């Protein structure tokens, strides 16, 4: 309603122009929010993408090259062309992170500006410093957009479209994937997010919006000049996103509107106007680094706490934390179905990992059978975690091969290993701390879903179906842990969970990938004796009730003794014993490895 009335209540054309420009800034800021806010990429080429959109429009709708395409064609061409450039730049620099990505994208922006300035000779393409002006008026099926009011409607129409799209994307597998990458890229990859692809998608999405905004801007201004797409504009749009709070859509909109209006009051002070952006940023970083809209109390709905009983008291923590009747991941067969089998599901053949002279894993071969728990023990630095990193694809082995269900997985990327059916937890907890408990579990479903941007933006059936399924599975998996990870805790940030619950959350996240093999890296580390008994029982139930195959690293030997079907011991990356717990515990080599001397009984 406001948007319909606003153009008519502006006091004069000057304010109407500011109003229209604020719509354009909203669009631009939301586009940057996809790249920098959602995915956390420091993209300094963003303003160049804005310019590419502007100049594409200028060249295709003017007498400059004598091409006069209709606006309805030029707008998508500008957006898609800019996106393709974004993808090209992104694909060459996606391996780069932080500072390096910033340097490469900044260089791109500078090259672009130099091209704009110099491509006026020998053939005049960009018009050099004089730019290009005098464009064909926008004509929508005979309806011409010429007046300032019409432009205000047109630009805000797109700004609203980008806003709605942003909300939809944020609440989708894309949004969760990006947030996971922003929080912990390695953990995101290890839980099944194709991080390179997702970063490229963020780049592409940002470039698409910037390109469209550039085309609209060019048409609105009826001219384009190199200094329309320069460093100051980049600073302004970054200021807007940071002021609003990276990733916070309402915040970014507010930031864009405020920063397109406030500095107008400083117009008469010339250069000081630019300084105001810098000042706002410094003050904000000092006082409110999460942005103006971050964590506004009254916006957070109060949740009922289902972990409380009817009298309002918290339910005790000793109650059974998993439901024996729960049927996670669509597995509904009865307990007896999961007899152990002799089928080898995972095989390592002579695998070696050499870290510049240190053989962390040395010529290791092992077989993991279906529905067995194989524990890996060994002193600190024996190579246990490296073994997990090799299986999960974090390191490709120097020598040797790894097979899962008869298919070679050596050298696959971590997200491909998860997709194949092997998922892991980390020894030193790598949850996505700022994401909710439910979203942490939902990220696990990323590799099982495939909805693309169009499906998400238009809520096509594929997206809706997958979202419902993701939600159901995530809740089912969390439900295995009872009140500890369900109810009001669904919405709690993972970082606020107790230590033991964060350990449980790691397991839940690994389970939510629909894996067949779980690699659990010290799941009971740091837990008290009661919690250790519970988690041991739980891991046992994953094998006995739900048929999982589990490779376990564990230092607590009573846990190993209780649940292992077989045990292998590593020392200096070499397998020194393999067999039942008793066999391994009584092996001289193992006793020696643990104590460094012979004939001492260390295991009970
Ligand atoms: P802990 O029980 O302490 O976790 P671990 O058995 O898991 O030990 P690893 O972390 O696999 O042992 O380490 C095995 C050896 O490989 C150690 O000597 C370690 O320093 C070395 N190592 C592991 N990762 C790397 C790496 N990325 N670069 C260099 N050396 C490494």
Beta-bridge partners for 224: 132
Least confident of 95-99, 258-262, 348-352, 595-599: 595-599
Spatial contact of 25 and 240, defined as CB atoms under 8 Å apart:
yes
380's torsion region: left (phi>0), alpha (psi -120 to 50) or beta?
Answer: beta
Best mutation site among 376, 378, 385, 426 for ligand 1, i.e. most ligand atoms within 8 A of its Cβ? 385
User: Using one digit for the tens of pLDDT, what is the confidence trace for 370-395?
Assistant: 999 999 999 988 999 999 999 999 99
Percent of the chain, pLDDT > 90? Answer: 58
Task: Compute, in angstroms, the gap from residue 395 CA to the centroid of ligand 1.
Answer: 12
């096509």: which residue's tokens?
A: 460
| Over residues 17-41, mean pLDDT | 93
Beta-bridge partners for 543: none
Spatial separation of the C-alpha atoms in residues 257 and 165, rounded to whole Å: 18
Rg (CA), the chain: 29
pLDDT value at position 128?
81
Least confident of 8-22, 257-271, 554-568: 257-271
As a whole number of angstroms, the longest Cα–Cα distance in the chain is 95
568: Cα separation from own chain's centroid: 36
Task: Compute, in angstroms, the gap from residue 385 CA to the centroid of ligand 1.
Answer: 7
Spatial contact of 577 and 587, defined as CB atoms under 8 Å apart:
yes
Does any ligand 1 atom lie closer than 6 A to the CB of residue 428? no
Among 77, 116, 349, 332, residue whose Cα is nearest residue 208 = 77
| Over residues 29-57, mean pLDDT | 93
Name the residue with the closest Cα to ligand 1, atom 1.
Answer: 380
- CA atoms 186, 187, 192, 196: torsion sign: negative
pLDDT value at position 604?
46
**What is the SS3 assignment for 355?**
strand
- Please say if the pLDDT value at position 320 is more than 50: no
User: Using one digit for the tens of pLDDT, what is the confidence trace for 481-536?
Assistant: 988 888 888 988 999 999 999 999 999 999 999 999 999 999 999 899 999 999 99
pLDDT value at position 338?
60
Does any ligand 1 atom lie closer than 6 A to the CB of residue 496? no
Task: Compute, in angstroms, the gap from residue 32 CA to the centroid of ligand 1.
Answer: 39
Residue by residue, DSSP assigns 561-583 as: HHH-SEEEEEETTEEEEEESHHH
Model confidence band, residue 300 (pLDDT cutoffs 50, 70, 90) = very low
Spatial separation of the C-alpha atoms in residues 296 and 306, rounded to whole Å: 24
Spatial contact of 357 and 326, defined as CB atoms under 8 Å apart:
no
Task: Compute, in angstroms, the gap from residue 141 CA to the centroid of ligand 1.
Answer: 67
Spatial contact of 163 and 253, defined as CB atoms under 8 Å apart:
yes
pLDDT value at position 121?
77
Where do the domains of the chain lie, and which CATH numbers do they carry? Answer: 2-294 (1.10.3470), 326-421+516-604 (3.40.50.300), 433-514 (no CATH)
Name the residue with the closest Cα to ligand 1, atom 30.
Answer: 355
Best mutation site among 357, 358, 398 for ligand 1, i.e. most ligand atoms within 8 A of its Cβ? 358
- Please say if the pLDDT value at position 327 is more than 50: no
503: Cα separation from own chain's centroid: 21
Does any ligand 1 atom lie closer than 6 A to the CB of residue 380? yes
Task: Compute, in angstroms, the gap from residue 360 CA to the centroid of ligand 1.
Answer: 6
DSSP assignment letter at 37: I
Does any ligand 1 atom lie closer than 6 A to the CB of residue 390? no
**Average of per-residue pLDDT values in the chain:** 86
- Please say if the pLDDT value at position 340 is more than 80: no
Phi/psi of residue 19, nearest 5 degrees: -60, -45
**List of E strands, 67-146:** 67-68, 132-133, 138-140, 143-145
Give the HSE-up count for residue 470: Cα atoms under 13 Å, Cβ half-sphere: 26
Token pair for 584: 């391994």
Best mutation site among 353, 355, 397 for ligand 1, i.e. most ligand atoms within 8 A of its Cβ? 355
498: Cα separation from own chain's centroid: 23
DSSP assignment letter at 314: B
Among 282, 95, 280, 257, residue whose Cα is nearest residue 189 = 95
Token pair for 262: 């406030």
Task: Compute, in angstroms, the gap from residue 524 CA to the centroid of ligand 1.
Answer: 19
Among 485, 488, 499, residue whose Cα is nearest residue 441 = 485
- Which contiguous run of DSSP H or E holds residue 366? strand 358-369
pLDDT value at position 174?
96
């107790």: which residue's tokens?
A: 498
- Please say if the pLDDT value at position 220 is more than 80: yes
Percent of the chain, pLDDT > 70? Answer: 87
Spatial separation of the C-alpha atoms in residues 291 and 33, rounded to whole Å: 13
Task: Compute, in angstroms, the gap from residue 495 CA to the centroid of ligand 1.
Answer: 26
Task: Compute, in angstroms, the gap from residue 595 CA to the centroid of ligand 1.
Answer: 19
């409380």: which residue's tokens?
A: 308
User: Using one digit for the tens of pLDDT, what is the confidence trace for 243-254?
Assistant: 888 889 999 999
Among 25, 54, 16, residue whose Cα is nearest residue 135 = 54
Give per-residue burial for 82-117: e unless 16+ CB within 10 Å, then b: bbebbbebbeebbeeeeeebbebbbebbeebbeebb
User: Using one digit for the tens of pLDDT, what is the confidence trace for 52-68?
Assistant: 999 999 999 887 778 88
Name the residue with the closest Cα to ligand 1, atom 2.
Answer: 380
Spatial contact of 112 and 52, defined as CB atoms under 8 Å apart:
yes
Helical ranges in 94-140 per DSSP H: 98-118
Model confidence band, residue 33 (pLDDT cutoffs 50, 70, 90) = very high
Among 96, 101, 53, 107, residue whose Cα is nearest residue 78 = 53
Does any ligand 1 atom lie closer than 6 A to the CB of residue 186? no
Among 185, 181, 177, residue whose Cα is nearest residue 439 = 177
Does any ligand 1 atom lie closer than 6 A to the CB of residue 383? yes
Name the residue with the closest Cα to ligand 1, atom 16.
Answer: 360
pLDDT value at position 486?
86
DSSP assignment letter at 319: S
Spatial separation of the C-alpha atoms in residues 344 and 268, rounded to whole Å: 77
Nearest ligand 1 atom to alpha carbon 573: 14
Best mutation site among 359, 361, 386, 390 for ligand 1, i.e. most ligand atoms within 8 A of its Cβ? 386
- Count of beta carbons in the 10 Å neighbourhood of residue 459: 13
| Over residues 215-232, mean pLDDT | 90
More confident residue, 310 or 186: 186
Name the residue with the closest Cα to ligand 1, atom 18.
Answer: 381
Q: Please report, for the chain, how many H helices and E strands are present, in that order.
A: 22, 16
Residue 309's alpha-carbon distances to 283, 305, 314, 479, 492, in angstroms, are 46, 9, 6, 17, 19
Q: Determine whether 235 is exposed, middle or buried from the number of CB atoms within 10 Å of its CB (0-12, 13-18, 19+).
A: middle
| Residues constituting the chain | 604
More confident residue, 596 or 31: 31
Give the HSE-up count for residue 398: Cα atoms under 13 Å, Cβ half-sphere: 14
Does any ligand 1 atom lie closer than 6 A to the CB of residue 378? yes
Spatial contact of 248 and 166, defined as CB atoms under 8 Å apart:
no
């009817």: which residue's tokens?
A: 310
Spatial separation of the C-alpha atoms in residues 533 and 93, rounded to whole Å: 48
């Amino acid at each position: 309603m406001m948007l319909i009335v606003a153009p008519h209540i502006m006091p004069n054309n000057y304010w109407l122009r500011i109003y229209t420009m604020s719509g354009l800034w909203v669009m631009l800021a939301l586009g940057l929010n996809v790249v920098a806010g959602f995915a956390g990429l420091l993209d300094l080429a963003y303003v160049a993408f804005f310019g590419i959109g502007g100049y594409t429009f200028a060249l295709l709708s003017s007498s400059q090259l004598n091409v006069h395409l209709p606006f309805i064609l030029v707008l998508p061409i500008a957006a898609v062309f800019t996106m393709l450039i974004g993808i090209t730049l992104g694909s060459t620099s996606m391996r780069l992170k932080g500072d390096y990505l910033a340097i490469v994208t900044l260089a791109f922006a500078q090259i672009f500006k130099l091209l704009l300035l110099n491509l006026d000779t020998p053939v005049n393409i960009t018009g050099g410093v004089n730019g290009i002006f005098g464009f064909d008026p926008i004509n929508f099926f005979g309806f011409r957009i010429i007046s300032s009011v019409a432009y205000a409607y047109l630009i805000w129409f797109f700004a609203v479209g980008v806003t709605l799209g942003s909300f939809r994307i944020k609440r989708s597998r894309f949004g969760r994937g990006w947030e996971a990458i922003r929080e912990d890229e390695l953990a995101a990859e290890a839980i099944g997010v194709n991080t390179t692809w997702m970063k490229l998608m963020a780049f592409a999405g940002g470039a698409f919006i910037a390109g469209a905004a550039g085309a609209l801007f060019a048409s609105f201004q009826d001219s384009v000049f190199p200094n329309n797409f320069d460093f100051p504009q980049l600073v302004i749009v970054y200021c807007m996103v940071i002021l609003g709070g990276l990733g916070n859509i309402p915040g970014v909109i507010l930031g864009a509107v405020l920063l397109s209006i406030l500095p107008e009051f400083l117009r008469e002070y010339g250069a000081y106007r630019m300084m105001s952006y810098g000042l706002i940023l410094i003050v904000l970083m000092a006082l409110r680094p999460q942005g103006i809209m971050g964590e506004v109390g009254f916006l957070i709905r109060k949740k009922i706490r289902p972990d409380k009983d009817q009298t309002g008291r918290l339910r005790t923590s000793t109650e059974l934390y998993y439901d024996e009747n729960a049927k996670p991941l669509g597995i509904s067969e009865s307990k007896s179905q999961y007899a152990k089998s002799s089928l080898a599901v995972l095989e390592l053949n002579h695998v070696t990992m050499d870290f510049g002279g240190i053989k962390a894993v040395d010529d290791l071969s092992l077989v993991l059978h279906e529905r067995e728990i194989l524990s890996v023990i060994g002193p600190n630095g024996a190579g246990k975690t490296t073994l997990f990193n090799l299986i999960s694809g974090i390191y490709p082995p120097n020598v040797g091969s790894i097979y899962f269900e008869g298919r070679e997985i050596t050298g696959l990327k971590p997200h491909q290993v998860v997709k194949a059916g092997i998922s892991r937890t980390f020894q030193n907890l790598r949850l996505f701390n700022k994401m909710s408990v439910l979203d942490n579990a939902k990220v696990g479903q990323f590799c099982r879903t495939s909805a693309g941007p169009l499906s998400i933006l238009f809520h096509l059936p594929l997206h809706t179906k997958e979202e419902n399924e993701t939600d159901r599975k995530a809740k089912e998996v969390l439900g295995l842990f009872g009140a500890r990870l369900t109810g009001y805790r669904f919405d709690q940030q993972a970082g606020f969970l107790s230590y033991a619950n964060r350990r449980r959350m790691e397991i839940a996240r690994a389970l939510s990938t629909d894996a067949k093999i779980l690699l659990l890296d010290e799941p009971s580390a740091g837990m008290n004796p009661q919690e250790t008994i519970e988690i041991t029982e739980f891991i046992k139930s994953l094998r006995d009730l739900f048929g999982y195959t589990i490779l376990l690293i564990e230092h607590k030997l009573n846990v190993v003794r209780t649940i292992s079907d077989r045990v292998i011991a590593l020392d200096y990356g070499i397998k020194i014993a393999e067999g039942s717990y008793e066999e391994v515990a009584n092996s001289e080599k193992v006793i020696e490895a643990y104590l460094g001397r012979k004939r001492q009984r260390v295991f009970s």
